[in-house]
Structure formats: C-alpha cells, structure tokens
Amino acid sequence: MSVPSPEPTLWELQRALQQLREDQRDGIAGLRESLRADLQVLAGRIEQAVTKDVYAADQRLVEQRLAVLERDLATEVRAREATEAATITARRWLIGAFLAPLVVAALQLWLLSNGHP
C-alpha cells in the first residue's frame, strides 16, 4: 500500500491551474460586460451634455432677451408716467374750466346781492 504524500500530484496541479484560468476568464468576461454597460451609460450622458460653446451662446441669447425686455419695460414705464401726467393735467384743466365760471358767477351774485353794480 502506498502512503499518501502531502504534496499535490501533477494532475492536481494541472486541475488547479485550469480552475484558476477558468475563474480568471469568467472574471474578465464579467468585467468586460460591466465596462460595456458603464460605457453605454456614459455615452448616453455625453449625448445629453451640452458643450461650453453652446451653453455660452445660449446664455448670450438669454441675456439679449432680458436686455430687450428691460428696455421694453422701461419704455412702458415712461409711457405710463407720461399718460398719468397728461391725465392729471387734463383733470386740472377740466376742474379749472368748470370751477372758474362757477366762482365768477358766485362772485357776481354776491356783488349784486350786496348792492354793487
């Protein structure tokens, strides 16, 4: 009868190396699949990204639109102020045109009632 030796046989070493290679191959295949999925996600993100030039152009366009809106708003404010001033002036003239004859008539009546010709 032979006594088992503590050292592995050549067949056991070959089997261990083969198992190690299979494990490495499976691990690398898993890494490749994971890397492909990550690259697809990254490609999707890059497709949605905007370049600095496009972003800067868009910001300039927004600034131009805001400048136009501010200018138009300032024009509207000035027009409204001018309209309000014209309305106030028209009211003053209307009140003056209505009250002046009444005051003159009241003064004449007062003078006539006091006996002044």
Q: Which of 20-34, 39-53, 67-81 has the lowest mean pLDDT?
A: 39-53
Instruction: Tell me the C-alpha distance between 16 and 26, whole Å.
Output: 15
| pLDDT tens-digit readout, 49-105 | 888 888 899 999 999 999 999 999 999 999 999 999 999 999 989 888 888 888 888
Residue 117 or 26, more confident: 26
Instruction: Tell me the C-alpha distance between 75 and 80, whole Å.
Output: 9
Residue 34 or 1, more confident: 34
Angle at 60 between CA 43 and CA 63, to 5 degrees: 125
Instruction: Tell me the C-alpha distance between 71 and 75, whole Å.
Output: 6
User: What would the two tokens of residue 86 be?
Assistant: 């014209």
pLDDT score recorded for residue 2 = 61
